[in-house]
Amino acid sequence: MAKSYILEILAVVAILAFCGVFLFTSSTLKGAEFAGSDNVGSGMIAELSGKPVESFAPLIPQWEPPSGEVESCLFALQSAIGGICVGGVFGYWLGQKKSMSETKANQ
Amino acid sequence: MHIMEGFLPWQWCIVWWLIALPCLAFGVWRLKKIIDADREALPLLGVTGGFIFILSSLKLPSVTGSCSHPTGTGLSAICFGPWITSVICGIVLLFQALFLAHGGLSVLGANIVSMGIVGPLVGYAIYRLLKDTSVNIYLTVFLATALADMFTYVTTSLELALAYPAEVGGVASSFVLFLAIFAITQVPLAIVEGIVLALVFKYIVALKPDILIRMKIFSEKQINEARGEA
């Protein structure tokens, strides 16, 4: 029984450990802002090139979400699109499997 | 793994675009061929592509005190190869460049090379290497997806290091600096991503084993063994 759910158990343990590590670092690590590593990388670029971060203007003008709320809304939209694809297909497969076993049973 | 718009000199933007474009074109051609050959491949593409959409939108905090996101590309690389994965990544990265100001149009080429080409290529290579050995298929999926994720960030570091060599030590020493930012943050995320995608693969094996066998992703014997033990 336990053996057949080994991947599920591992996934739960890994996610819990991940949360635990986050709680630990966020309470002990001083100066941890949990900013995106993209931005930390940009800071490093500025440091290496000796130019301030503000001097890096976009080469191609781009639209920026006006606030963090709008940004998180669009990110949620992105994962919702993915979630619909995944859920839809798994449902389709499940239905396919069920109708196949029903036709077999009727024959 | 996004290089931000404006943070890559235009010469490098062109170089990465020139590498990315032929891969994308080949990916579109492969995609058309696979869909024409087998309509049942389309739902599988939906699942693997869907996970790229979901996972690349999750910004997770990590041990270094900064946030980063998993890529989710490994599953698609295993099922469809690296080139079709490049196309899906191109769509995701375009969405993020246009609407989220994560990355941008000029650096899109560089970001496609790291997330859509090198990462999936590494994942696919590992899968091919382990496919016909006695290694458990879920372990294969774990290793392929986790390392596809890791190498995406290693590539980003290399792209930045090439464009911004340090005054002392040149490309090598700035590569180490960027690795410290991107790769170390990514290690725990890659491990969790690998386990989660291996679990997803288990459900694909349980629900639709015939498509995996027909597309020769794993042999019938391996799938049956996995179903027996799972």
Contacts of A84 in chain B (CB under 8 A): 50
Q: Considering the entire predicted model, what is its pTM?
A: 0.92
Beta bridge pairs of residue B193: none
Judge contact between A45 and B6, C-beta under 8 A. no
A19–chain B Cβ distance below 8 A for any pair? no
How many CB pairs below 8 A link A and B? Answer: 180
Nearest Cα neighbor of B136 from B219, B225, B44 is B225
Identify which of A33, A79, A88 has the shortest CB distance to residue B54.
Answer: A79
CA-CA distances (angstroms) from residue B81 to A105, B23, B196?
A: 38, 12, 20
pLDDT tens per residue, range B120-178: 999 999 999 999 898 999 999 999 999 999 999 999 999 999 999 988 888 999 999 99
Binary contact (A26, B61; C-beta < 8 A): yes
Is the Cα dihedral B212, B217, B221, B223 positive or negative?
negative
Spatial separation of the C-alpha atoms in residues B35 and B211, rounded to whole Å? 13
Which 3 state secondary structure label does DSSP give A34?
Answer: coil
DSSP conformational letter for B5: T
Which 3 state secondary structure label does DSSP give A86?
Answer: helix
> Would you give the distance in Å from CA B65 to the centre of its chain?
24
Spatial separation of the C-alpha atoms in residues B142 and B147, rounded to whole Å? 8
DSSP conformational letter for B2: P
Spatial separation of the C-alpha atoms in residues A53 and A46, rounded to whole Å? 5
pLDDT tens per residue, range A3-55: 788 899 999 999 999 999 888 888 887 777 788 888 888 888 888 888 888 88
* Closest-CA residue of chain A to B72: A82
